[in-house]
Amino acid sequence: MSFSQKRAMLDAAARMYNRKRTVSRNGFKKFSGTPEEICLQIIKNNFDERTGFLVSGGHFREFYVRDFAFCAQALCQLGFEKEVRCTLSYVLAIFEKNQTIEQSISPKGVPYSFPTYAPDALALLLFTLQVTNNDDLVKKHHAFIQRQVDRFVKTVLDKKAPLPKTRRFSSIRDHAGRKGSCYDATMIAVVAFACEYFSFTFPYSKEQTKAAIIKHYWNGTYFFSDLQRQGIVVGDANVFPFWTGIITDKNMLKSAILSIRAAQLDNPFPLRYVNQLDKKHEKSRLHAANLFASDYETDSIWMHLGLCYLDLLEKELAAPHVEKIGELIEKYSTFLEVFSDDGSPFSRPFYVTDEGMLWCSKWLSLKKISNVKCQR
């Protein structure tokens, strides 16, 4: 890791702590209007004419591949296709200039990943380029991306199977040290699918990667969190194999959703990584950062995870959750990042939930699909 990347991470940590102090004094920045109007203001506030979309209006006011990927289709559905393309153009230019694809790009234009290599950076970047129909950008950067695919293969893949190595990777749960997580295995499959679509060289077919996920993680009822195959229902493991389109079996989806609901990961609103009981038994070595923000990625309630979960539900099952999130937007006059297990905004001595999240575009898209009037 270069000095500039280390500096970018230290700057991010400083922003988190300084914003905690600011919010303690002044509270969250409030937007006026209905929940729909608030979300439109947040989306526009999070777009920079030079760099494109940023994650939030708070301490994560920079680019994250993962967060942008979760929102990109919704943003296009809401009429922000040009802004999405602008973002992708900037991001690819920065990555190629630095000869690396990372999870984040700092406000100073430095690509970096915390705490280590992020398999979902390449995977979700390719996924976003495909689902937003920006194939020409891939052609423009084809040679560079192929080199990053080769790096992905060397860094992430087990030598004997289309599975992730059991080392720690940066992930949607950065604080959790899992061994060959289902989420990372899903990202391998996402890369395989994208490589076939964009004509990149990859050692495994999409069918092989899909079969490996089912063989090694599916227990007949839900997906295990990692290769330790512990009998605990974990949110991300049972959302992203389906959300990315890798697993399309409707019976498996129904079973996974029933398991999530039985574990009450969607209560009082979606979605937790693990429930309050299972967090005590989960075999996961937490990162040192958890000392400063305990339970940040255990039984806390994550809005981006919840919104991806809602994408999978039938409309009648999703509707109460969509309405509940609307009530939270109205209550706090913004869109918050994460809530504590009791449903209150997440706060610790050194950290407070981020605000003004670009993820609100997913909620707004869900509302629009539900025939709620929304105009730019």
Integer Cα distance of 372 and 205 in angstroms: 41
Residue with tokens 């309630």: 301
What are the pLDDT tens digits along the chain (376 aa)? Answer: 888 898 888 888 889 989 999 999 999 999 999 999 999 999 999 999 999 999 999 999 999 999 999 999 999 999 999 999 999 999 999 999 999 999 999 999 999 999 899 999 999 999 999 999 999 999 999 999 999 999 999 999 999 999 999 999 999 997 677 889 999 999 999 999 999 999 999 999 999 999 999 999 999 999 999 999 999 999 999 999 999 999 999 999 999 999 999 999 999 999 999 997 776 666 565 545 555 566 777 899 999 999 999 999 999 999 999 999 999 999 999 999 999 999 999 999 999 999 999 999 999 999 987 644 333 2
> Strand 338-339 relative to strand 176-177: parallel, antiparallel, unpaired?
unpaired
- Cα–chain center distance at 164: 18
Q: Extract long-range pairs of 289-294: CB within 8 Å, 24+ residues apart.
A: 289/115, 289/174, 289/175, 290/175, 292/348, 292/349, 292/350, 292/351, 293/175, 293/346, 293/348, 293/350, 293/351, 294/348
What pLDDT sits at residue 3? Answer: 86
Query: CB 48: neighbour CB atoms within 10 A?
Result: 17
Which tokens in the block code for residue 27? Answer: 């509270």
**Residues 161, 166, 168, 172, Cα dihedral to 10°:** 60
Integer Cα distance of 111 and 125 in angstroms: 14
Q: What is the DSSP letter of 296?
A: T
Report which of 19, 27, 76 is spatially closest to residue 53, judged by C-alpha positions: 76
Q: Domains (ranges, CATH) in the chain?
A: 3-369 (1.50.10.10)
Which tokens in the block code for residue 202? Answer: 């990859």
Q: Answer whether 280's CB lies under 8 Å from 307's CB.
A: no
* Angle, helices 142-156/119-131, rounded to nearest 10 degrees: 140
What pLDDT sits at residue 291? Answer: 52
Q: Answer whether 354's CB lies under 8 Å from 59's CB.
A: yes
Does the pTM exceed 0.85? yes
Bond prior to 119 in cis (omega within 30° of 0): no
Integer Cα distance of 132 and 52 in angstroms: 15
* Angle, helices 35-45/360-369, rounded to nearest 10 degrees: 140
What pLDDT sits at residue 280? Answer: 65
